[in-house]
Amino acid sequence: MTISRAECAALDAADPLGHFRDEFALPEGTIYLTGNSLGAPPKTVAAAVARVMGEWSDRLVGGWNASGWFDLPLTTGDRLAPLIGVGPGQIAVGESTSIAIVKAVSAALGLRPGRRVVVSDPANFPTDRYMVEGLVRALDGYEVRRLEDLDATLDDDVACVLMSEVDYRTGDRHDTAEVTARVQAAGALMIWDLCHSVGAFPVDMSRADFAVGCTYKYLNGGPGSPAFVYVHPRHQAEAEHLLTGWCGHAAPFAFEPGYRPAEGIRRFTVGTPHVLSFAPLHAALDIWERVDLGAVRDKSVALTSLFIDLVDGFGASYGLGLLSSRDAGRRGSQVSLTHPEGYPIVRALADLGVLGDFRAPDTLRFGFAPLYLRFTDVYDAATALGEVMEKGHWREERYRRRLAVT
């Protein structure tokens, strides 16, 4: 496909989501294709944080009651619920995705006594694998099984399966309804990692048993914003997880010597809510509550398809390969390319104002956040990539020096 920049500008003019771009703070001259790693900040974040600071200054410790700080994990969870296709009282927000994985997997194991196997997809983000392996080491008698072929992996020993809806490297997407049905038919519980899907397209976890996810990627909650865990209502009365912190107690201010789990989703809270970290997330949710997720998906497909088509025009001649699926239905909102010199290429692109990221050993990742990315941005990014490859900018020694965060 051949398309001009003028045609891309016409697409921008007709974009039903185009007005949302003005609600985000983006540096002039930057094309931000790293929203799949850290989303851009809403312009209202500073005011949102200032409001919480004002509550702290005015109310001091009284803010826990008067400002609803103690209930933030649950009230925020109810705001997130529509984004993953579930209802109120089903999500607890707090801590990190790594901690949420321990909550979900340990609870699933307790619900399937006698089954001793956790199945983990080797394509999961490393923290998913690391946390499950650490949990199994701490719980005597359990084992982790690598997911290869799903039907061959499932047997009467499998308690739960942990998979990512979108592969963090390739950007490829699973059919969650189909996989969930197969896992549950085998008597196991399904846990989904939504870090690279929530906010990128409509998500439906209503059939899943558990789900976890972060809020700082496509949801724009800010660096280190709190993660979430979803628990299906059918499990909430029985599910008990390993991290029995005081906020999940049935009566936290009774200060009882023993632990009694709270009713419902509150038992999946752990420690004191990080109140200041919730403020940027709330600013982002103020935007997301006005967004048509179907329109987000339509634009995501159009943006990623445009980028693939543009790179196809020159990529192969410079050794660039397409790692992501060409089938838009199997893609999230990310396009991954491969090249043996992927890291210096990404660094050279950044100096031209195009921010992507790199994943070892050879993957260049580009995330397409439909709320603030334009079609002209995609055109210009592909043009810049072509320039980097044609002129060999990436060969400069300075681009080979690895930064701590890639």
Q: Helices in 81-156 by DSSP H: which ranges? A: 97-111, 126-138, 150-153
Q: How many CA atoms lie within 13 A of 174 on its CB side?
A: 25
* Cα 165 to Cα 32: distance, rounded to the nearest angstrom: 23
SS3 281: helix
CATH fold label, 5-43+292-400? Aspartate Aminotransferase, domain 1 (3.90.1150)
Judge contact between 336 and 323, C-beta under 8 A: yes
What are 363's strand-pairing partners?
338, 359
Each domain of the chain, given as residue ranges in start order, spans: 5-43+292-400, 68-288
pLDDT at residue number 2: 80
Q: 193 and 124 in contact (C-beta within 8 Å)?
A: yes
Closest CA to 55 of 37, 73, 68, 39: 68
Q: Give the class (CATH, top level) of 68-288.
A: alpha beta
Q: Which residues contact 199 (CB under 8 A, 6 or more apart)?
A: 39, 83, 217, 218, 219, 220, 288, 296, 369
Q: For residues 144 and 160, what is the distance between their CA atoms, to the nearest angstrom? A: 10
User: According to the model, what pLDDT value does residue 1 have?
Assistant: 60
Structure tokens at 290: 């006005």
The answer to whether residues 118 and 132 touch, using CB atoms and an 8 Å cutoff, is yes
**pTM tops 0.85, yes or no:** yes
Answer yes or no: are the C-beta atoms of 161 and 119 closer than 8 Å: yes
Per-residue pLDDT, 201: 96
The pLDDT value recorded for residue 405 is: 86
Specify the DSSP class assigned to residue 342: H
Q: Show the DSSP H helices in 112-168 as ranges.
A: 126-138, 150-153
Q: What is the pLDDT of residue 175?
A: 96
Active site residues: 125, 193, 216-217, 365
CB 373 within 8 A of CB 361: no
Per-residue pLDDT of the chain (406 residues; tens, 9 = 90+): 689 999 999 999 999 999 999 999 999 999 999 999 999 999 999 999 999 999 999 999 999 999 999 999 999 999 999 999 999 999 999 999 999 999 999 999 999 999 999 999 999 999 999 999 999 999 989 999 999 899 999 999 999 999 999 999 999 999 999 999 999 999 999 999 999 999 999 999 999 999 999 999 999 999 999 999 999 999 999 999 999 999 999 999 999 999 999 999 999 999 999 999 999 999 999 999 999 999 999 999 999 999 999 999 999 999 999 999 999 999 999 999 999 999 999 999 999 999 999 999 999 999 999 999 999 999 999 999 999 999 999 999 999 999 888 8
Residue 65 has which token pair? 């009651």
What is the CB neighbour count within 10 angstroms for residue 114?
Answer: 7
Query: Collapsing DSSP states into helix, strand and coil, what is residue 260?
Result: coil
